[in-house]
Amino acid sequence: MPEVKDQPIVKAVNVFKAFKDVKALSGVDLEIFPSEFTALLGPNGAGKTTLVEIIEGIQFPDSGEITLFGKHWNGNKDELYRQIGLSFQETKFEDKLSVAETLKLFASFYGLDKSRVDEIMNIVNLEEKRKAYVVNLSGGQRQKLALGIALLNSPKLLILDEPTTGLDPTARREIWAILHALKKNQGTSMILTTHYMEEAENLCDKIVIIDKGKVLAKGTLEQLISDSNTSEIIQFKVADRNLFPDISNFSDLREIQWEETTNLVTLHVANTSAFLPELITRLNNEGCKISELRCRYVTLDDLFIRMTGRKLTD
Ligand X SMILES: Nc1ncnc2c1ncn2[C@@H]1O[C@H](COP(=O)(O)OP(=O)(O)O)[C@@H](O)[C@H]1O
137 binds, among ligand X, Mg ion, none (CB under 5 to 8 A by kind): none
Buried b (16+ CB within 10 A) or exposed e, 170-201: ebbebbbebbeebbeeeebbbbbbbbbbbbbe
Question: Binding pattern to ligand X, positions 47-66, x when CB under 6 A?
Answer: xxxx----------------
Which position's Cβ is nearest Mg ion?
49
Element at 1 (helix H, strand E): none
Minimum distance of ligand X from residue 218's CB (angstroms): 16
Positions in 201-220 near Mg ion (CB under 5 A)? none
Give the C-alpha separation, 121 to 103, whole Å: 9
Residue from 15, 41, 46, 217 touching ligand X (CB under 6 A): that is 46
Cα four-point dihedral sign 89, 30, 28, 256: positive
Rounded to an integer, what is the distance from CA 203 to the centroid of its chain? 9
Pick from 4, 14, 29, 45: which binds ligand X (CB under 6 A)?
45
**For the CA atoms of the chain, what is the radius of gyration?**
23
Nearer to Mg ion, 98 or 308 (CB): 308
Answer yes or no whether residue 164 interacts with Mg ion by CB under 5 A: no
| Three-class secondary structure of residue 75 per DSSP | coil
Q: Which position among 49, 125, 189, 194 is part of the footprint of Mg ion (CB under 5 A)?
A: 49
Return the one option of Mg ion, ligand X, none that residue 44 interacts with (CB less than 5 to 8 A, by type): ligand X
3-state DSSP percent of the chain in helix, strand and coil, to 5: 35, 30, 35
Residue from the set 4, 22, 58, 243 that interacts with ligand X by CB under 6 A: 22
Query: Per CB under 5 A, which region of 21-29, 41-49, 137-145, 238-246 contacts Mg ion?
Result: 41-49
Q: What are phi and psi of 165, to 5 degrees?
A: -65, 130
Where does this chain bind ligand X (CB under 6 A)? 19, 22, 24, 42, 44-50
Residues contributing to the site for Mg ion (CB under 5 A): 48-49
